[in-house]
Amino acid sequence: GAGVSQSPSNKVTEKGKDVELRCDPISGHTALYWYRQSLGQGLEFLIYFQGNSAPDKSGLPSDRFSAERTGGSVSTLTIQRTQQEDSAVYLCASSQEETQYFGPGTRLLVL
Amino acid sequence: GIQVEQSPPDLILQEGANSTLRCNFSDSVNNLQWFHQNPWGQLINLFYIPSGTKQNGRLSATTVATERYSLLYISSSQTTDSGVYFCAVVTNAGNNRKLIWGLGTSLAVNP
């Protein structure tokens, strides 16, 4: 079946602009995760949605970052007033049980 | 918080060689996963292995939870095995499913 998809695949923006990143999880997966990966680094947890429970936002680096998950499916990660240090690959994953399945990521470059 | 350390950080192999990658973690875990990130950035789950041994083709993994380490074995390596191998864990604390990631082992397999 279809895997996790993310859009856009690449995004170049100017410092100070807002960006929205989208994640379509695997159908039926109740858990959805957002991660950030800087060049040559491991993954940094951002936020986790599980069913109808309140999301775990403990990894969001600042109040410029927010995420929503509508109808238990699609999720949008919003970064307001982007800064150059926000440049990274933003990865989304979904799971039904323990194994997480990753999308291809969105490469964000803030000029 | 829990620390996840992977070794070696970098590894270069000749095609056909075998290798062992190690993941040490500082606290008890109820979830450990190994991932491969290919040179194009796609993350693929290799094993969900909080304890015991699993094998999948040329890859196998063993986790000794009581001693807080996991090993990933790659036999008869191929150039397509190149990429970064990540270990990620979820602690036993609380009811979270947030993966904590190591920094990875970067593997290059030469023809």
B89 to chain A, minimum CA–CA distance in Å? 11
Structure tokens at B4: 């996840």
CA neighbours closer than 13 Å in the CB half-sphere of residue A64:
14
A30–B contact, CB cutoff 8 A: no
Quick check: A43 and B98 CB within 8 A?
A: no
Structure tokens at B89: 């864990």
Cα(A61)–Cα(A45) distance, integer angstroms: 10
E strand residue ranges, A8-82: 10-13, 19-24, 31-37, 43-50, 65-69, 75-79
- pLDDT for residue A104: 94
pLDDT at B8 over 80: yes
Amino acid identity of B17?
Answer: A
Residues of B in contact with A31 (CB under 8 A): 97
Predicted confidence (pLDDT) per residue in A23-60, tens digit: 999 999 999 999 999 987 888 999 999 888 888 888 89
Structure tokens at B98: 């947030």
Amino acid identity of A40?
Answer: G
- pLDDT for residue A72: 77
Nearest Cα residue in chain A from B4: A42
- pLDDT for residue B74: 97
Amino acid identity of B78?
Answer: Q
B56: confidence class by pLDDT, cuts 50, 70, 90: very high
Q: In this complex, which of A56, A89, A91 lies closest to B98 when CB atoms are compared?
A: A56
Cβ atoms of B65 and B51 within 8 Å: the answer is: yes
Mutation target for B interface from A45, A98, A101, A107: give the one with most B CBs within 10 A: A98
